Amino acid sequence: MKKTQESIKRCPTVSALQKILGGKWKIEILYYISFENVCRFGGLRKHIADITESSLTKQLRELESDGFITRHDFGEVPPHVEYSLTELGISFIPILEHMKRWGEENL
């Protein structure tokens, strides 16, 4: 018997994670903030050379909106802004570590 699209249920947890972290660069941004201590826009831009400024800005805003990072503006000219992990972002570090280890072993 074939399952129809209506009878297949999506996993709400995985679906929510995909929606939050599904941006092309979000996991990589979290990695650099977590493990490489890269906390400024320019540093992230250098580490992720293929990303555009507008895309990096969008991904950072979404990660901030979703509660993974916090943005600290020092109110200086030229602008000095740093990003850091929130408690939610810190709780994601073991998952990033596992993903990195899995990738090193399997990719």
Task: Indicate which CATH number applies to the domain containing 45.
Answer: 1.10.10.10
Q: For residues 107 and 8, what is the distance between their CA atoms, to the nearest angstrom?
A: 31
DSSP bridge pairs for 70: 84
Residue 12 in domain: no
Count of structural domains within the chain = 1
Domain that includes residue 46, residue range: 25-106
**For residue 35, which amino acid is it?**
F
Residue 19 in domain: no
Residue 1 in domain: no
Residue 15 in domain: no
Q: For residues 71 and 49, what is the distance between their CA atoms, to the nearest angstrom?
A: 21
| pLDDT tens digit at each of 107 positions of the chain | 555 666 788 899 999 999 999 989 999 999 999 999 999 999 999 999 999 999 999 999 999 999 999 999 999 998 899 999 999 999 999 999 999 999 999 99
